[in-house]
Amino acid sequence: MLVYPSGVDVSSSTLRFLALQLRRHRRAIGSRWRRLSAGRQALLTLAHLRMGHTYAQLAAGFGVGTMTAYRYVAEAVELLTALAPGLTDVVRTASAKAYLILDGTLLPIDRIAADRPFYSGKHKRHGMNVQVIADPFGRLLWVSPALPGAVHDIRAAREHGIIDALTEADIPCWADKGYRGVGGTVRIPCWGRWEALSAGQQAVNRSHAKIRALVERAVATLKSWRLLRKLRCSTTRITSHVQAVLTLHLTSSE
Confidence of residue 28 (pLDDT cuts 50, 70, 90): very high
Mean pLDDT lowest among 88-92, 111-115, 186-190: 111-115
Reply yes or no on whether the pLDDT at 74 is more than 90.
yes
How far is it, in rounded angstroms, from Cα 234 to Cα 253? 29
**Per-residue pLDDT at 9:** 93
Q: Is the pLDDT of residue 116 over 80?
A: no
Question: Rounded to an integer, what distance in angstroms lies between the CA atom of residue 150 and that of residue 148?
Answer: 6
Q: Decide if pLDDT at 115 tops 80.
A: no
pLDDT of 214 higher than 90: yes
Band of pLDDT at residue 113, cut at 50, 70 and 90: low
Q: How confident is the model at residue 110 (pLDDT cuts 50, 70, 90)?
A: confident
In the prediction, which pLDDT does 58 show? 96
The model's confidence at residue 5, banded by pLDDT at 50, 70 and 90, is confident
pLDDT of 159 reads 95
Band of residue 114 on the pLDDT scale cut at 50, 70, 90: low
Residue 194 has what pLDDT?
Answer: 85
**DSSP letters spanning the chain:** ---------S-HHHHHHHHHHHHHHHHHHT----SS-HHHHHHHHHHHHHH---HHHHHHHHTS-HHHHHHHHHHHHHHHHHHSPPHHHHHHHHTTSS-EEEEEEEEEB---TT-GGGEETTTTEEEEEEEEEE-TT--EEEEPPPEETTS-HHHHHHHTTHHHHHHHHT--EE--GGGTT--TTEE-PPPS-GGGS-HHHHHHHHHHHHHHTTHHHHHHHHHTSGGGGSB-S-GGGHHHHHHHHHHHHHHHH-
Rounded average pLDDT over 59-78: 96
When pLDDT is averaged across residues 16-30 and rounded to a whole number, the result is 96
How far apart are alpha carbons 137 and 221 in whole angstroms?
Answer: 13
Q: Does the structure show a pLDDT above 70 at 112? A: no
Average pLDDT over residues 159-166: 94
**pTM, full prediction:** 0.92
